[in-house]
Amino acid sequence: MSNMGGYDYLIIGNSAGAVGCIEGLRSVDKSGTMALVSEEECRVYSRALIPYYLGGHIARDRLYYRPLDFYDRAHVGVFNGHRAVKIDTAVRMVKLDDGNSMSYGKLLIAAGGKPFYPPIPGLDKKNVYSFHSMSDVQGIEKELPGVRSAVVLGGGVIGLMAAEVLHGKGIRVHVLELADRLLAPVVDETTSQLVENALRETGVDLYLNNTIGQIHGGERVESITLKDGRTIPCDLLIVGVGVAPRVELAEHAGIQVNRGIVVDKKMQTSVPGIFACGDCASTYNFLTDAVQNMPLWPNAYLGGRVAGYNMAGAEREYTLGTQMNAMHFFDVNIVSAGINVTEANQNDSLDIIKNYDAEKKVYRKFVFSKEGTITGFILVGQIDRAGIFLNLMRRKVDVRGFRKEMFKNSFGYADLPETLRWQLLQDDVILGVV
Ligand SMILES: Cc1cc2nc3c(=O)[nH]c(=O)nc-3n(C[C@H](O)[C@H](O)[C@H](O)COP(=O)(O)OP(=O)(O)OC[C@H]3O[C@@H](n4cnc5c(N)ncnc54)[C@H](O)[C@@H]3O)c2cc1C
């Protein structure tokens, strides 16, 4: 076993969390030695832009998250195409899949998530992809010219993004969803219905309460039979049923894990000197006051940034993370943030006000605590005020004095009491929003 060197700081992964860490860390410590090890061969890119690239809305260059010379300028050694397979916390060493190892002073695990494949025989065939990585992008791009009928397994955020891209290419798209509604974990029943209507109007075939019974074909999927017995021709199968946090390295190293790797507000794990962030971690949610897996790009970047500060010795906390999804499917714009209250989890301690304007297709729902603060909201159709609501939610402002105004189409800063308005605008200036 040869040793690939020792570093003051080592990062596992090369995506939003890793970049946040590098930028935070280098703003404090300009000279400590630093390296990252990444399983993917390619340059850092934005997963969130995959649908825009495949849909033809942006050029390939826009997929890349930082310029080519980013790591050189930050003095970070990059070991692409290597997988970390073991962390030995006693000797502060990370072992790689080729037998080499690297030692560290402080370590960040930013390993993200892995697409989940249900145990259906045939999902290993050649024209089956997830919708998650650069290798998926390359594979799907090659398939596209020959695809007339595609099956998307999963009616969640990723599945619907894939469906929209494929439909935009003139492909007949079939979306299969095991639950009785679309987007069930992230939005309420009304929003699901609006998206379902849009999908059906656009001509996407939707199969709720359904999944794959059997996959047919040789090396490639040729058709699938649904649980209800119907058969669908299939030139391309996209699996989009969920992403599992990659916790295996941490688990084997004896680091505390629940659904994700548990971190404190400084992003440090249960083992001092080892930090984690992003999709692989369970981080502090300011609305629930608990650690949760919140697989979102800003949470990964900001969590990584805070980890970077702390790794370099500057104490910072990440206390503003929560669930927030901004989505658009088939011309339906949606922002869902905070605690998503559905019929199933509604309770008396929450006050819920909703309003649907069928003509304008505008839906607003707010969830308020007993103290009058916003704990969650869903906006459909008109989403441009989401930033203000998010700000009010983060600052835990008692909104009872102007709750009615929040339902106006024209709601804006002018509707807020003057002192509050200036406080929020000042925040926005600091954040670069206005
Ligand atoms: C199609 C799509 C659209 C999305 N859209 C949005 C959106 O609109 N808004 C939003 O907020 N979020 C969106 N997301 C989610 C967002 O991309 C993730 O939250 C974000 O990428 C998480 O970043 P991360 O740094 O935690 O890990 P990841 O981006 O998952 O990257 C982790 C990296 O670590 C590598 N790795 C893992 N294990 C090892 C190991 N043992 N050794 C070496 N390397 C390893 C992986 O190969 C990977 O390159 C989207 C995701 C997808 C797939």
pLDDT per position as a tens digit, 21-50? 999 999 999 999 999 999 999 999 999 999
Instruction: Please give the pLDDT value at position 423.
Output: 81
Measured CA angle at 247 (ends 244, 251), to 5 deg:
145
Per the listing, tokens 């002073």 go with 105
Is the minimum distance from the CB of 249 to ligand 1 under 6 angstroms?
yes
Is the minimum distance from the CB of 16 to ligand 1 under 6 angstroms?
yes
Tell me the average pLDDT across 62-69. Answer: 94
Instruction: Please give the pLDDT value at position 138.
Output: 96
What is the reported pTM? 0.94
**DSSP at 99:** S
Is the minimum distance from the CB of 84 to ligand 1 under 6 angstroms?
yes
Instruction: Please give the pLDDT value at position 217.
Output: 97
pLDDT tens digits, 385-398: 898 999 899 889 99
Q: Find the Cα–Cα–Cα–Cα dihedral 359, 381, 205, 142, rounded to 10°.
A: 150
pLDDT tens digits, 337-346: 998 777 767 7
Query: Per mean pLDDT, which range of 49-58, 77-86, 395-404 is the poorest?
Result: 395-404
pLDDT tens digits, 145-189: 999 999 999 999 999 999 999 999 999 999 999 999 999 988 999
Q: With the C-alpha atoms ordered 20, 26, 27, 29, is the resulting torsion angle positive or negative?
A: positive
d(CA 277, CA 258): 14
Is the minimum distance from the CB of 181 to ligand 1 under 6 angstroms?
no
Distance 346 CA to ligand 1 centre (A): 31
d(CA 127, CA 211): 18
DSSP codes of every residue in 285-339 = ETTTTEEE----HHHHHHHHHHHHHHHTT----------EEEEEETTEEEEEEES
